[in-house]
Amino acid sequence: MSDSMSRATKSVVTSAADEPFAATVDTNPPKLGVRNLTHRFMIGSPPSPLTVLQDIDVSIARGQFVCIIGESGCGKSTLLRMMAGLLTPSEGQVMHDGKPVNGVHHELGFVFQQDAVFPWLTVEKNVEYGPKSRGIAKAEREKLVAHWCESVGLTSFRKAYPKELSGGMRKRVDLARAYANGPDVLLMDEPFAALDVQTKGVMQEAVLQLWSATGKTVVFVTHDLDEAVFLSDVVIVLASRPGRVHAIVRNPLGRPRVEATRVSDEFAAAKRTLWNAMQDARKAGAIK
């Protein structure tokens, strides 16, 4: 694909992405806004600054399912950690409901790539951890635990320790724990990267169910194109070295999305659109 053609694609889809959301969000600040964010790490000896993210400016509307996709090392996880307040950017800021994010906050839930379920707590104690941290009364916590264990299909494993569960089940615990804390936005950092293909597919459907049941905004980092196509409303494509927004692509794939969606022509077409944008991003990264 020629450069001019992909650039044209980018501008077209970007404006297409802006329109449907602009109508609903117009007057309110975006659910999550990244403003002129630049980040540098000090690396090597003697230490010299490396720009990992440059001039990131993104608005995420309430209730959207946004995937951030890019090559390994493009800074997508770093960007997500900044959205969560786990990292502070060198320049610029992240806004949640128009207020700057300063450090972690329980309204910004996070699901990690690694296994982050506390191994010393049972499933139900893990799910209860967030509400208990926030001082929610025992009766209310019990309801939350029951509801969210049920939502991810772990009711019969409530008393089990994580070591007794499979990798996929532990991810369910992780999801239930994040949702049980009632966050406003869920930030997921390649949560299913370590799972086998089949489990991954099942978990993607689980995450879509949670998303449509709660209507909570989700920002989902992945390097897996199929995953991004299956899950997202909007895909933010990052280019590498330094990480920057290459394109914001509206995913044309309709909903609801089920198992069969993955083999539909519509899915293939949506994937092609995204693939083109990513190829373009790769070239832009390589030239730099």
Partner 1 sequence: MMRRLFSPAVAVGALSLAALVGVYWLLALRPGTNAALVPVPPKILAAFAEEIANGNLPTNMLASIQRVLIGFFIGAALALILGAMAGWFKWWGWILNPIIDAIRPIPALAYIPLVIVWVGIGEPSRLIIIALAVFKPCVVNARAGMQEVAQIYVDAARTLGASKWRVFTTVAIPSAIPYFIAGLRTGVSTGFLALVAAELIAAPSGLGFMIQNAGQYFRTDITIVGIIVIGVLGALLDQGASRAGRALTKWSDARKVQ
Site for partner 1 contains 88 (CB under 8 A): no
Query: Side chain identity at 159, as an amino acid letter?
Result: K
Read off the tokens for 255: 């909903």
48 membership: H or E segment, kind and range: strand 48-60
267 binds partner 1 (CB under 8 A): no
Using CB under 8 A, pick the residue from 112, 157, 211, 220 that binds partner 1. 112
Q: Which is nearer to partner 1, 129 or 275 (CB)?
A: 129
Q: Would you count residue 137 as binding partner 1 (CB under 8 A)?
A: no
SS3 for 261? Answer: helix
- Cα–Cα nearest to 261, from 232, 237, 235, 236: 232
CA-nearest of 88, 101, 77 to 219 is: 77
Cis check for the bond before 242: say yes or no (omega within 30 of 0). Answer: yes
Q: What is the DSSP letter of 122?
A: -
Write down the least CB distance from residue 36 to partner 1, Å.
24
If the CB atoms of residues 18 and 164 are measured against partner 1, the closer one turns out to be 164
120: contact with partner 1 by CB under 8 A: yes
Give min distance, CB of 218 to partner 1, in A: 15
Burial label for 11, CB within 10 Å (0-12, 13-18, 19+), is exposed
165 binds partner 1 (CB under 8 A): no
Residue 24 C-beta: closest distance to partner 1, Å: 28
Q: Angle at Cα 38 formed by Cα 37 and Cα 44, nearest 5°? A: 155
Rank residues 21 and 148 by Cβ distance to partner 1 and give the closer one: 148
Is residue 130 close enough to count as binding partner 1 by CB under 8 A?
A: yes
d(CA 224, CA 236): 13
How many residues interact with partner 1 (rule CB under 8 A)?
A: 26
Binding-site ranges for partner 1 (CB under 8 A):
84, 86, 104-106, 108-110, 112, 114-116, 118-121, 129-130, 133-134, 161-163, 177-178, 181
